[in-house]
A and B are shown apart, each in its own frame.
Chain A
Amino acid sequence: MDQFTINLLFVGTSFAIYIGIAIWARAGTTSEFYAAGRGVHPVTNGMATAADWMSAASFLSMAGLIAFVGYDNSAYLMGWTGGYVLLALLLAPYLRKFGKFTVSEFIGDRFYSPTARMVAVLCLIIASITYVIGQMTGVGVAFGRFLEVDSTTGLLIGAVIVFAYAVFGGMKGVTYTQVAQYIVLIFAYTIPAIFISLQLTGNPLPPLGLFGTDTASGEPLLAKLDQIVRDLGFSEYTAHNGDTLNMVLFTLSLMIGTAGLPHVIMRFFTVPKVSDARWSAGWALVFIALLYLTAPAVGAMARLNITQQFWPEGAAGQAVTLEQIESDPAYDWMATWQQTGLLGWEDKNGDGRIQYYNDKSAAMQERATAEGWSGNELTNFNNDILVLANPEIANLPGWVIGLVAAGGLAAALSTAAGLLLAISSAVSHDLIKGQLAPQISEKGELLWARIAMAVSIVVATWLGLNPPGFAAQTVALAFGLAAASIFPALMMGIFTKVNSKGAVAGMLSGFVVTLVYIFLHKGWMFIPDTNSFTDADPLFIGIKSTSFGAVGALVNFGVAFLVSSMTRPIPAEIAELVESVRVPRGAGAAQDH
């Protein structure tokens, strides 16, 4: 059986399972559509949250960004897990006690203001759509590889499937399908990692293998990796090469953003009790940590494997020959990935070899002159392909490659579906029913939910054709927006007596400042070449646009407290509401307006 058939088999079977579950658990009422009728066990909920959470960014993109940057991108690892601490300690139990369906409902009620609710709806729609753009980038890579087409065609096919899939069920369909998706994606991520860790270090546990010994050289794996990349003029893998300020702010933005993204917070509305909401966050992180503890090992080991493939005699010897790339089955992955347009090489100096090195390093330029090289000949290596290409690079059996393709699609689909659900509920429940047409029927509300899904996927696909960065970088921007707007409002709503004017002014200023900062660096509406600054030379004290969310959050808090202190304090019944969300007793089933 050839690889294409195996991939088709794995992806097809996994899809059949998801769709089967979605039909079996099809949502009938609005309560089921949004919150699965609140009958979900914390462990089940944790697993579904993990699938919802771990998107194309975590699955496909993150290990690649770590592999090619090294230590500095640990920010992704700490940021996307550390946010769960904030969620568990500062938000989840209180929002569950409050007992409504959506994040903006809490903001609207707590700040006794339809304006506050609308501002929250607007912020979370823009943040979620940015997030979906990142997913679509990943979907394009995954479908491109698995159908052996270019990534644009892959993206368009993926968009149709995501749409059909998200419209089918609501939260309930999504909850149980997401459990299935989690199982597929975690096996798909860890099995190749175990194989590769065994090959390189003899240790079956990748997180231990990362700090273990490279059996080929007898040196510690990370020391070996540091040395070979240094010899090719790249910066050392374990060294801190960027600046500390950006690394801290970026990590913080990702953490706060995690605790401000509606599709994750919504998960904690679906557990039966307040105490379950606390456990749920812990269980979610257990399931997430399985992938996040494996990811740095995947990154480091893949970087070592790739570098050694291009330099079979070691960094000081001769580079790999074109002939070997074409004839040796160990290099088959290069031809396959070339088709997607995400990998490219060119024998610039015509010596029949492909020299992969950092042509910006002075020491390497010297060596290049001496040996007659004309620049780095691995001309294109899209970081997003690393995880999918990894099992092929390590020469793993065909079924592992098929499994990874299915896992990558599961990750992208589950998150895209969860986000589309959050967007559609914001539009139909908060905007249409909560504001424009309160008398709308349940059926009408569901119809609007589906229309909103359709519109957002079209917008995300269109913007996904020219994404502002790799999947994980685009997603990081969405986190910045959520960090600057939603998280501070929720936290102040629970822990302080900030009033409605303060909250509205805070959310607007935090959000606008961050959005404008991102657009100034990434282009207005992410349209290429409309930016005035770049992240290499940012506008404000060296802070990159991806790290700006934490600053936006600070602006939000500051403005909110200032405005609140100058305006009328909150009414007595709202003070009572704040007191009531602080204690678990009396948390009944959720109620609608």
Chain B
Amino acid sequence: MAGYTTPSAQAADKSGEAYWKANIRIILISLVIWALCSFGFGIILRPALSGIAVGGTDLGFWFAQQGSILVFLALIFFYAWKMNKLDKEYGVDEE
């Protein structure tokens, strides 16, 4: 079982809990956007968006073939930036 390093002793205290809660909140918000753009706009809500024309077809088709991919990219970079900032705020970043 050797091999992983335990964090400094205070990691399990309140600040550690708040850090984890903040992380979960960011993950949940990101995943809602993730699902909305792909399963939502790209598939299930496509009929509702069919009135919005995009280059010979409708907005839902654009989301399914391009829009969702662009949103995924934005989400990952947002998360990396936000979390690396959060790590520093809570003092849990790597030295």
Residues of chain A whose beta carbon lies under 8 Å from any beta carbon of chain B: 71, 74, 77-78, 81-82, 84-85, 88-90, 93, 98-100, 109, 112, 207, 210-212, 219-224, 226, 238, 240, 244, 247-248, 251-252, 273-275, 278-279, 281-282, 285-286, 289, 292-293, 296, 573, 576-577, 579-588, 591-593
Contacts and interface: CB of A to CB of B under 8 A. Distances in A.
Interface in B26-81: 27, 30-31, 34, 38-39, 42-44, 46, 54-58, 61-62, 64-66, 68-70, 72-73, 75-77, 79-80
A573 B1 contact: yes
B7 A77 contact: no
Contacts of A584: 87, 92-94
A210 B3 contact: no
Question: How many B residues are at the interface, by size bracket?
Answer: 35 or more
A220 B94 contact: no
A79 to B, nearest CB: 9
B39 A93 contact: no
A223 B53 CA distance: 11
Contacts of B12: 576, 579
Contacts of A285: 72-73, 76
Interface of B is mostly: helix
A84 B72 contact: yes
Interface of B: 1-8, 11-12, 16, 19-20, 23, 27, 30-31, 34, 38-39, 42-44, 46, 54-58, 61-62, 64-66, 68-70, 72-73, 75-77, 79-80, 83-84, 87, 91-95
A85 B34 contact: yes
A585 B92 contact: yes
20 contacts: A78-B42, A88-B76, A89-B76, A99-B5, A109-B3, A112-B1, A212-B55, A223-B57, A224-B56, A226-B56, A226-B57, A238-B56, A238-B58, A275-B80, A281-B80, A282-B80, A580-B5, A585-B92, A585-B94, A593-B3
Contact of B80 (A88, A112, A583): A88
B7 to A, nearest CB: 5
A211 B62 contact: yes
Contact of A244 (B31, B44, B73, B79): B44
Contacts of B68: 77-78, 81-82
A528 B65 CA distance: 33
B63 to A, nearest CB: 9
Given A74-B61, A289-B69, 4 more contacts: A226-B57, A292-B69, A587-B5, A591-B3
A583 B19 contact: yes
Given A93-B83, A251-B38, A98 B76 contact: no
Given A85-B72, A582-B20, A275 B93 contact: yes
Contacts of B20: 582
B79 A278 contact: yes
Contacts of A587: 5, 94
B1 A74 contact: no
A286 B87 CA distance: 24
Contact of A238 (B3, B61, B95): B61
Contact of A248 (B6, B27, B44): B44
Contact of A77 (B55, B56, B57, B64): B64
B84 to A, nearest CB: 5
A579 B5 CA distance: 11
B4 A109 contact: yes
B28 to A, nearest CB: 10
B69 A78 contact: yes
A527 B65 CA distance: 34
Contact of B69 (A293, A579, A581): A293
Contacts of B57: 211, 220, 222-223, 226, 238
Nearest to A282: B76
Contacts of B80: 88, 275, 278-279, 281-282
User: Max chain B CB contacts within 10 Å: which of A74, A77, A210, A248?
Assistant: A74
Given A78-B64, A88-B76, A585 B3 contact: no
A155 B65 CA distance: 32
A489 to B, nearest CB: 18
A414 B79 CA distance: 29
Given A77-B64, A84-B72, A293-B69, A580 B7 contact: yes
Nearest to B77: A282
A580 B79 CA distance: 20
B69 A77 contact: yes
Nearest to A80: B69
B27 A98 contact: no
